[in-house]
Chains A and B, each alone.
Chain A
Amino acid sequence: MVNIDRITEKLSILADAAKYDVSCASSGSKRKNENKGLGNASNGICHTYTEDGRCVSLLKILLTNHCIFDCAYCVSRKSNDIKRAAFTVQEVVDLTINFYRRNYIEGLFLSSGIFKDADYTMERLVRVAKKLRTEHKFNGYIHLKTIPGASDELMHEAGLYADRLSVNLEMPTEAGLKLLAPEKNRQDMIKPMGFLKNEIIQRTEEKALFKKAPMFAPAGQSTQVIIGATPETDKQVLQTANHFYKNFNLKRVYYSGYVPVISDKRLPALNTSVPMVRENRLYQADWLMRFYGFNVNEIVDEQQPLLDLDIDPKLSWALRNLQCFPIDINRADLQLILRIPGIGMLSAQKIVSARRYSQLNWEQLKQIGVSLNRAKYFITCNSHKFERRDLTGTAIKQYILSQSQSKYIKASSVQLNLF
């Protein structure tokens, strides 16, 4: 390396600018190390954690933070007076390889400010990935941002080298985007997502027929929406997420609580705290939709457009639907057991396995890992002791809250301060 100080400075500027993109997954791919090369990509590993508790799995950087756009929420916006820098293709390649060999990272997450135009930027991102794959036999994980408006040819090439591709929707609704990023167009984001969806389906079919067919973005595509910069309700956010899961086969939708970095009359004030509890509740709701068989309308609807910050969305659903309970733990289907507050995926599977041997009682449920302080109001098991009082939802919530030391009780009193 020629200039140590310069590369160090570039890294701090371009890592700092990339950190608001919360996607960190390095899982879902199955790239093997079959060419006696470097690395593989499989289940995903978090190599370290930042002091805010987020996982660090990939070297997440921008190629450059020069940008022709002026989006209000973005720290790299054109009108923001900050230091600018740009990596060369070779510099990114060297950093990736050397970090990877030391087991610091699972791979590279490369995004970029938009310089000149979409194709010019995308072409450089693709060049980094191509160089890693072909010249350095690198089989680690590569996540590339697709630049809205880039040509289909470039997107196709990106898919041949990357494990995952993503286009950020940025705002949960079109109106939100118009407000904060008037130069951007939601159609420009949706078009590449549609292209990638079709390409991924087609390539997967080919791969099933011909084993030698090249992989195409084996870890699929994801997106991110910023929460709390615009006044959308959780209902709007989750319905957007649901729409993209259903119609674009997205692997993940990431929710990024807005961190006030710039002063702008369209944005929450600089002293507004990051809506971390809300963000967490959205992820819980997202999990309910993807793994627990919940329909989005069961989680949020006209009467309940906002998620309850005090309690998790599953408990909240259960309290609104007391007629579904109590559920007999020794008989109910797995799908129903998954709907019981205080029982997670692992416990539910253990219960279904274990009850084939003997009828389970409270003690055994506790041992298996069920949170009885929540679950006990909703289940019966092999015991005569169970909740017989006809409690209202409000009463159950009071009992549960009074017994638990929620990590959020303090935090949730700090409400989001919009405008």
Chain B
Amino acid sequence: MTTLLYDGTFEGLLTAVYEIYERKLLLIKIQKGEWYSSALFEDVLSVITDEPRASRVLKGLQKKISAAGLQRLYAAHMAGIENEDITFINYIRYAFDADYNIEEDYGNKYVLRVSEIVRMVRREKHRMEAFVRFQKLGDETFYAAIEPDFNILPLLGKHFKNRYTDQKWIIYDLKRQYGLHYDLYDLQFISLDFVMGNSQNVIAAYSEQEGLYQDLWKNYFNSVNIPARKNTKLHMRHIPKRYWRYLTEKF
């Protein structure tokens, strides 16, 4: 059993696949991170991400699965879910070793698992499209903080750009410390050194009517409730508590 260490990038993952075939490795473990000394007696291989090797694997993979399938695999990996790297490695190996397209072979546990991860990622993306709450700042920028379970911010750009073409906005992932900024023309990833994470600072930067509309929204939310139909379990299933912090109607 060889343990592969890689840098967590998709290129790194593809390089790891290259190493596996190059060295004819059979049983492996894979994890993100640096060389660690306690591994002295283990068989450890540190994968150095290498663009040419990664793109060779990518080209091969493109012949085995569809462009959409590759996109899904990429998004699933980018989500950054713990301990799933081995799923992606085995998925890619299965794709290479089979002489047909394996994308819909849900009887295979790796194919099924990737499809489950894709579903989880999609759901989180969809939730964020719903739960982002912009707050209008004095400089006309609409700012929203999020803490999604998975790294899905890059997947949000298209939706929000299409929808809010005529307003400046920032969506900031406080958990991963980076954001997406739209300036009426382009989308850019940004990282804010200043303390937008501190809600007091955001409130201080509010535009004049921001407080009013937040109150009206809370008022609306309470008015549409039908107490005779109360169903807390269903409510909690739809909006798990961890999302409440950033929902105007809930804080």
Contact = CB atoms under 8 A, between A and B. Distances in A.
26 contacts: A8-B215, A15-B220, A32-B162, A33-B165, A38-B164, A46-B130, A48-B239, A53-B231, A53-B233, A53-B234, A54-B226, A59-B220, A60-B224, A101-B142, A103-B144, A259-B228, A274-B229, A353-B104, A355-B107, A357-B104, A357-B107, A364-B107, A367-B106, A367-B112, A368-B106, A407-B233
A1 B212 contact: yes
Contacts of A45: 126, 129-130
Q: Identify the 10 closest CB pairs spanning chains A and B, nearest first.
A: A53-B234, A52-B229, A353-B104, A354-B106, A15-B223, A49-B238, A357-B105, A53-B231, A12-B223, A19-B224
Given A36-B165, A364-B107, A51 B225 contact: yes
Nearest to B225: A50
Given A11-B219, A39-B163, A367-B112, A104 B133 contact: yes
B37 interface: no
Interface in B126-156: 126, 129-136, 142, 144
A48 B250 CA distance: 10
Interface string A173-186: 00000000000000
Interface of A: 1, 4, 7-8, 11-12, 15-16, 18-20, 32-33, 36-40, 45-56, 59-60, 95, 98-99, 101-104, 137, 257, 259-260, 273-274, 276, 350, 353-358, 360, 364, 367-368, 407
Interface of A is mostly: loop
Interface in B166-201: 166-167
B235 A38 contact: no
Nearest to B100: A357
B226 A19 contact: yes
Nearest to B226: A52
A52 B223 contact: no
A50 B235 contact: yes
A11 B221 CA distance: 10
Interface of B: 102, 104-109, 112, 126, 129-136, 142, 144, 162-167, 209, 212-213, 215-217, 219-235, 237-239, 247-249
A355 B230 CA distance: 43
B220 A11 contact: yes
Given A12-B219, A357-B108, 8 more contacts: A1-B209, A19-B226, A50-B224, A50-B235, A51-B230, A101-B136, A354-B104, A368-B112
Contacts of A257: 229
Given A12-B219, A46-B130, A52 B225 contact: yes
Nearest to B135: A102
Nearest to A407: B233
A350 B136 CA distance: 44
B9 to A, nearest CB: 30
Contacts of B247: 48
Contacts of A273: 228
A101 B222 CA distance: 20
B228 to A, nearest CB: 5
A47 B130 contact: yes
B225 A354 contact: no
Given A8-B216, A11-B219, A56 B224 contact: yes
B223 A102 contact: no
A32 B159 CA distance: 11
A56 B165 contact: no
Interface centre among B112, B163, B228 (most CB of A within 10 A): B163
A161 B141 CA distance: 29
Interface centre among B132, B221, B232, B248 (most CB of A within 10 A): B221
Contacts of B112: 367-368
Nearest to A20: B226
A48 B221 contact: yes
A36 B220 CA distance: 29
A15 B224 contact: yes
Contacts of B108: 357
A48 B225 contact: no
B235 A46 contact: no
B235 A51 contact: yes
A176 to B, nearest CB: 21
A367 B110 CA distance: 11
B232 A51 contact: yes
Contacts of B224: 15-16, 18-19, 50, 56, 60
A102 B104 contact: no
